[in-house]
Amino acid sequence: MSTVLDPSAPASRPPRRRRVRATPVAWLLWGAVIFFFLNVAGVIGSVLVNSFGRRWFDTWLPEGFTTDWYGQAWEEFRLLQVLTVTVEVALLVVGISVLIGAPAAYVLARRTFPGRNVVYLMFLLPILMPPVTYGIPLATLLYELGLAGNLSGVVLANLVPSVPFVILTMTPFIEQIDPGIERAARMCGANTRRVLLRIVGPLLLPGVLAASILVLVRTVGMFELTFLTAGPDSQTLIVALYYSMSASGIRAQQSVDAMAVMYTAMMLVLLLVALRFVNPTQLVARVKEDVE
């Protein structure tokens, strides 16, 4: 069966594409964003190039390139000990924060009681406030108790913002679990311990992993609290980087830049892993909802 086309019928025209015209305000905003990222890329690029450069004064590029500065930084700043302390502090903070924050998040997600929003807001205060505002009184208290200046003081200080991070991250995961599953398990004879370990625990593994990675990133990058409570043998990488730049004496800038590149690379890897498991937009929406 053939179809006869009417030559008098108007030909169908393709849909017109709408042209989006940028306003002057939009151009200014895009220009500011591009300018910002170019400055950041320039700073990071100069540090990266200088960490491999032999001599670099008034030329576009160094006179030569070498990797000796990384070995010198490793020996001069005792990076093996610093990295060991950083890993120990991060793992201890992550473990203790999950042990404290997971039960607290479960209670806040499952129980309704007077003042629940106030309690939740109090947990969020260490996240909303700058660490210096409560870091100095906290460090003073830890020094009076003899807990500062060592590894325990650094861990205790970092627990203050880390436990709220665990609560903030795990509460949405717990709320997504249907309470009917727990009731059905209890009706089948499971006690509270078995319900938490066999039913709720496996379902909360993604939330525990997300909270752990988030706390790990924050602990490694936390400068204020660690700087106020660390001693000579309990400095993390970011505090050691600060001392290497501000301490007296003559140090090659290339070795300091090599240490900065190591720290930046480690933080970048941790950040990419964190973004793989944590959605920042959900966390921001959660904070706004609870504050309101």
pLDDT at residue 162 greater than cutoff 90:
yes
Structural domain includes residue 11: no
Q: Which domain holds residue 38?
A: 25-66
The residue out of 42, 66, 90 marking a domain boundary is 66
Structural domain includes residue 6: no
Number of domains, the chain: 2
Structural domain includes residue 261: yes
The per-residue pLDDT for range 256-286, each reduced to its tens digit, is: 888 888 888 888 888 787 777 665 555 444 4
Say yes or no: 165 and 36 in one domain: no
pTM here is 0.76
The helix/strand/coil state of 89 is helix
How far is Cα 273 from Cα 288, in angstroms, rounded to an integer? Answer: 25
pLDDT at residue 226 in the model: 93
Say yes or no: 36 and 172 in one domain: no
Structural domain includes residue 201: yes
In which band, very low, low, confident or very high, does the pLDDT at 10 lie, cut at 50, 70 and 90? low
pLDDT at residue 249 in the model: 61
Say yes or no: 128 and 205 in one domain: yes
Query: What's the token pair of residue 68?
Result: 């000796």
The per-residue pLDDT for range 173-197, each reduced to its tens digit, is: 888 888 788 888 888 887 878 877 7
Buried (b) or exposed (e) across 33-67, using 16+ Cβ within 10 A?
A: eeeeeeeeeeeeeebbebbbbeebeeeeebeeeee
Asked whether the beta carbons of 168 and 279 are under 8 A apart, the reply is no
Residue length of the chain: 292
Q: Which residue(s) pair with 65 in the sheet?
A: 53
Residue 225: which residues within 8 A CB-CB, separation 6 or more?
A: 131, 135, 138, 139, 154, 157, 158, 160, 161
Say yes or no: 74 and 59 in one domain: no
Structural domain includes residue 18: no
Say yes or no: 48 and 115 in one domain: no
